[in-house]
Structure 1
Amino acid sequence: MDIKGNEEINILVVDDEESIVEFIKMGLEAEGYRVYTAYDGEEAITVAMELRPHLIILDIMLPGRNGYEICRELKENIETSVIMLTAKGDIDDRVKGLNLGADDYMIKPFSFKELLARINARLRNNYICKSTKLNIGKFAIDDGAHEIYFENKILQLSPTEYNLLKYLIVNNGLVLSKNIILEKVWGCDFEGDENIVEVYVRYLRDKLCDKEHEIIKTVRGVGYKLVIN
């Protein structure tokens, strides 16, 4: 799905490690994106407020002001997506970033292929917010009407089923853990059993007639991945 030409998308990369910035910048420019850079917190704020990028790749550990502070300030002042980079794998750090408005996170080290997939997912999600309608493969999402179609037939979904399926569609091709699904669909303050994700995945498979799990795949020991052919 082509939202708009990549050359029309501005991405800001913020990290104090020059090698990481250059690695990301080189890869994104090869994909046609316009890439801007910043190496500390104050510079990130200045560039972001002037540029108003479509997406920001933001490291947590920065000189001056950390990524949490930057994320909160930018989310209060401009419309953008934020993918946070962290060397920390603790769930509390991820939850803190998400609570401050981050849209996604990646733990270093990471592959550029996965970063690119997550960037594309965030851009697709923004497109839904602005147009309320999106077609991806055999799926059609009408966010304004809160409806999802599969093979041109409307699916009868509960609110939670709708939110879960939309999240899987927008992130198609990415393996999503139960924890991140819980955080994004049920909310960071959800205190129930994480097996609720399995229950709702089963509901969706039934409604998609996905008996062989060819649409919503289980990645053992990791989570789920929606595959759109």
Structure 2
Amino acid sequence: MSTAPLSAVASPAPPAIPRHVAIIMDGNGRWAKARHLPRFAGHKAGVDAVRHVTRAARALGIEALTLYAFSSENWRRPEEEVNDLMGLLRLFIRRDLDELARENVRLRVIGDYRRFAPDLVELVDAAIARTAANTGPILAIALNYGAQAELAAAARRLAARLAPEDITEAAIEAELETRDLPPLDLMIRTSGEHRLSNFLLWQAAYAELLFVDTLWPDFDGEALADAVAAFGRRQRRYGGL
């Protein structure tokens, strides 16, 4: 019996890489508490984790990474903590924008960030404009975002110009803030919680969900690679067999 040369033997297919990954970054406060540090220290460590994970996403070939940075419900937190989060957003933009621009990353923001302080809105607008012509991976930051509000706003716009029978799934998707992003493949939530917390509810309809115990400040490039590997082992049937 003849044996095919090694060069002719089919190699295993490479693991699937999700085009679009979204992350609910949870656990900053618990990370700080476990170390007897103020919550601000946890949020600051969380910003450092954002840098590590965005770099890893680029290295893995992920086309779009969407991070849940500030939800529309986060306004309920103490004013001091909200102010701290706004300060860290300013720090992230000022410190990391040069690298994002240099690496051909296009920065996107979803959510009603214009509720923020005028100087922060101006900073965000300038960051978006600076990277708008980039053609590489997309980093989308969800700021003052809530999926239910997003869907309600889309429904109002469609109802104002379309007959009910013309409001289709495709029409709704075209009104969402993620309309120019690839379909969501993988949603990760850190810190051991098992809920979506009003994040990308429509987009997550057929996304793979992965809940990990790691607190966000400890979630790094290796953790993201592990999540991508877990995604590659799953079978996505979309309702079929």
More helix by share: 2
Higher RCO (CA 8 Å, separation ≥ 6 residues): 2
What is the TM-score of this pair, normalised by structure 2? 0.30
Larger Rg: 2
More strand by share: 1
